[in-house]
Chains A and B, each alone.
Chain A
């Protein structure tokens, strides 16, 4: 519309277009930066100390895992699978659980699931291990959503070297859960032992990557 108001309208429209374009020029790069940050965030699940010589680690002790689930034996089951899988790689020697228990008693470690750096250094001397692995089982068991159900496991692990008590590696893994197929067709998901092995395998892969 060509009148004072129309001219004003056109001017406003042009101005608004220009404003919008400026917004686009500012907002779009911001969005791209944010997206790239989130992409980096997915790799943040694993920490690896670049200064650590992992080749020097030959013997490790796997401490009792912390159990944050309702299943009382979850931590023991996952720990057993972890020890056997780690041994089976042949890359590290894992001390027997009885030996670790002896070290915990000797070292008077009050909280074996979450040992302090001083405890770790003490254990290293008693057990003659170059590193200690601790872990936490966050989820273990069945979950339900409506009429669908499946097994899920979520765990994390850390490796602490025994010279200084410093964390040199940490990672986490979550497996199982209710898939689209479970929702549509039922089935109960994969057996607990299977997904436990998968989760442990993923952790060990992250350790040796």
Chain B
């Protein structure tokens, strides 16, 4: 009899442990045991060797001691769940990924620029999103560089070999992710942008500097000649705001799903009605959106990168615009002597512009 009672009690404990268990979102500081490296998204608008870059990235991460999900396991999972969009994950995919493969993080990477010309160029943004019931962004970082960023004296620092260049770029991403995994740093921190990247016109109202806000970054309206420029700016702002302690950025895959489920079609920008729906569905305090008017890179060693966008931030509390700004910069702004200080990629310029706006948002 006591044996039966003990067994019954043990069973009850097990059931209590299993039943009603609710997956909590991964705490920011917790290390991620294994990662699924999703296929890369191509936002460059031109042909990019995505598979070989993904293979190189996976090798870099393995060399740094990260445990990755096997390629064929991931492919089977994606085929089973008909995953076609690889630049973001929603709750359903995140939950299934955790349940079926056991990985605790999904690495999502987007290539914004890739050129193997005389002066190789690359720009990419990567983020690690937790799996389970509430996908959250655990880490985000990016790289935007050109082979002639630091040519040095007699062009001795010029990088012409595209393979060496790619290895260097992926190495930086791997290093940043490995540091995050080792819990050396949770966030990138507020990068101090140069003054020249501050918005030319800005309006700010009623945004408390100390309070923590949940922000959904809506797709930017693309009025430039560059394909996918709107999506690129979204990633820049996700990266910039995630680096600040005041903002909890909602995973863009969840925002995308909300747009699709609610059949929101943006006509020139986010309306107050759309913002209200996003506040309700995503639990956001702020919705950030905008327009891209220029997003230009250039091929080769001669040219000027150009970025021009407007940003608006709508607040849930009173459904009003609490931030509006216009930013435009060229790569040779403030450059007078021998291209010293010139920014050679639109990515590198855009992230500084986004960082600048982030810094002004939290400033009291």
Contacts and interface: CB of A to CB of B under 8 A. Distances in A.
Contacts of A145: none
Interface residues of A, number: 25
A76 B293 contact: yes
A96 B325 contact: no
Contacts of A84: 201-203, 310, 324-326
Contacts of A102: 267, 271-274
A15 interface: no
A142 B295 CA distance: 21
A100 B293 CA distance: 19
B112 interface: no
Nearest to A59: B320
Size class of B's contact patch?
A: 20 to 34
A88 B201 contact: yes
A100 B268 CA distance: 9
Interface string A81-109: 10111011010011111111110010000
Interface string B287-325: 001010100000000000000101010100000110011
Interface in B317-346: 320-321, 324-326, 328
A90 B201 CA distance: 13
Nearest to A76: B223
Nearest to A193: B328
B321 A193 contact: no
A118 interface: no
B271 A98 contact: yes
B312 A96 contact: yes
B270 interface: yes
A77 interface: yes
A87 B328 CA distance: 18
B268 A87 contact: no
A97 B201 contact: no
A119 interface: no
B267 A105 contact: yes
A101 B202 contact: no
Contacts of A85: 201
Interface string A62-78: 00100000000100110
A84 B327 CA distance: 11
B76 interface: no
B223 A73 contact: yes
Contacts of B289: 98
A84 B200 CA distance: 10
Contacts of B245: none
Contacts of A76: 223, 291, 293
A99 B275 CA distance: 10
Interface string B175-206: 00000000000000000000000001111010
Contact of A88 (B203, B291, B308): B203
Chain B CB count within 10 A is highest, among A80, A90, A98, for A98
Contacts of B269: 96-98, 101
A99 B268 CA distance: 9
B118 interface: no
A204 B274 CA distance: 30
A77 B293 contact: yes
B266 interface: yes
A96 B328 contact: no
Nearest to B272: A99
A98 B268 CA distance: 5
B271 A81 contact: no
Interface string B209-240: 00000000000000100000000000000000
What 8 A-B pairs are tightest by C-beta distance, nearest first? A98-B269, A87-B203, A102-B271, A98-B271, A101-B267, A84-B201, A101-B268, A97-B269
14 contacts: A73-B293, A76-B293, A77-B308, A84-B203, A85-B201, A87-B321, A90-B203, A96-B271, A96-B321, A97-B269, A98-B270, A98-B272, A102-B273, A102-B274
Given A93-B321, A102-B273, 6 more contacts: A73-B223, A85-B201, A88-B202, A88-B203, A93-B320, A102-B271
Interface of A: 64, 73, 76-77, 80-81, 83-85, 87-88, 90, 93-102, 105, 193, 197
